[in-house]
Chain A
């Protein structure tokens, strides 16, 4: 078995048994990155020296008898996470040479346990996109078909797992940015409940929706990564101070007796036939495993995309006001006074999609439109949240597609922002409701493209969806297929 094909739990076993060192594993991954990166483009920055130093330190820890599940495991993280002393761009020219003075809590937690950082992963600029085409550092390609998008905005995080350039990765999800690329690249991705993982040191896009989560090869690894990053952080006042369950301990509890909801608004006429077939087969698998299905309704689903694009754009226009060329980031060389310096620095530094969302958000917050757009969207958000509360009164979790189609072609939706926004139809409501959802491999199209399914959990119900995901994974072999690259 190739080292780069291993899961966290497999590699951990080898490290603990001392049949393999972290330096050997890290070297194997760095070699793999060099070999496939020209075709994939998952990384913005590869941190080879930092990685090998961390691997050597991990090997010393292991030799001293300290072999935590993550000690010596080579990981990579989306370039949205601040890493002290390591360039962090968020996929934008405006942060081209930004070196953060501190690290994100989520990465710090992994690092403290001995994880090795291979590098910073490609993404849509400021996490705004569903295809990774808006990165200022060039697009990422789908390892299953390099003419297709990997999904976005954590496209590099998903592609790196699928192309075996990292054992596991971290991404962020504001409207589907972990789940949709996980689905398109055939890996497991978890969007935790809002407040479950600290957002400290994560470059802000839409603060009321952003969450940090893992992308992995299987559900076992996902539970392990989730357990490592979850928890209260005094530095993020929106993180929630409730105990973190042992997600690995309940993985094998099975689905017998679980009630799974099928929201009718997610099984619509426009759904790709192969996606529909994949969902039907997944339902059959769960029935066989002893789960019970209940039809439920989330009646405001059709308004979720509109609600999301108002709220996210409004929050983005406010969050991105900080990029003014004064304290960090790009500053325009020739400016006539302070205001002109702000304007030119921003206009030179931001790409087209970021400008478009700032414009929409500014419009929605501007005098005369604030109530009609922003406050209206916040009210519809309440109705969407209430839909979930009602549905969860009857079921333990819900099963839906992640995306209406498998990965689309690079360039296919690039000129039509509205069409691109609609590709997040099934993932956005979960962010608006603030709850958790898991995306996992459920099948393949006839042309060999991965198709994911989404398990939506109750707020702080990560253990239940991970357990249901694990049961499915044990009953199927989809997660074992590897992209031929």
Chain B
């Protein structure tokens, strides 16, 4: 399967990754061979087969809607690369 550098750039944009020129070349080749390999699945007859998202059949897990203690602001913000008061600080979103 042929994956071009333009394909790689498109997918990288979707995945929020910035790749070097060398990485783009490398990934185009490697993704091509990996996707070529997974194309073997096309030969499997799956007409009428239900897709499996989960190996153990289970219903939705519900719990009582009651307030419980949480980890709190300080603990939640302890790993923040940047904070402002009780908020995470990020670069300006709207100019």
Contacts and interface: CB of A to CB of B under 8 A. Distances in A.
Interface in B40-82: 40-42, 44, 46, 49-56, 58, 61, 63, 71, 75-76, 78-82
Interface stretch (A35-43, A328-336, A438-446): A328-336
Interface in B12-50: 12, 14-19, 23, 27, 30-31, 33-35, 37-38, 40-42, 44, 46, 49-50
Interface stretch (A132-140, A147-155, A360-368, A449-457): A360-368
B6 interface: no
Contacts of A435: 55
Contact of B17 (A300, A347, A381): A347
Given A195-B56, A317-B15, A355-B17, A237 B61 contact: yes
Contact of B55 (A373, A385, A418): A385
B29 to A, nearest CB: 10
A234 B63 contact: yes
A200 B2 CA distance: 40
Q: Which of B12, B80, B90 has the most CB of A within 10 A?
A: B90
Contacts of A240: 56, 58
Nearest to A209: B55
B65 to A, nearest CB: 14
Contact of B81 (A302, A325, A347, A373): A325
B11 A343 contact: no
Contacts of B23: 352, 355
Contacts of A366: 11, 14
A359 B8 contact: yes
Interface string A360-384: 1011001000001101111111110
Interface string A380-399: 11110100000000000000
Interface of A: 98-99, 101-102, 193-195, 208, 234, 237-238, 240, 300, 302-303, 305-307, 309-310, 317, 321, 324-331, 335-344, 346-347, 350, 352, 355-356, 358-360, 362-363, 366, 372-373, 375-383, 385, 417-418, 421, 432-435, 459
8 contacts: A237-B61, A240-B58, A336-B91, A338-B92, A341-B91, A376-B42, A379-B50, A432-B55
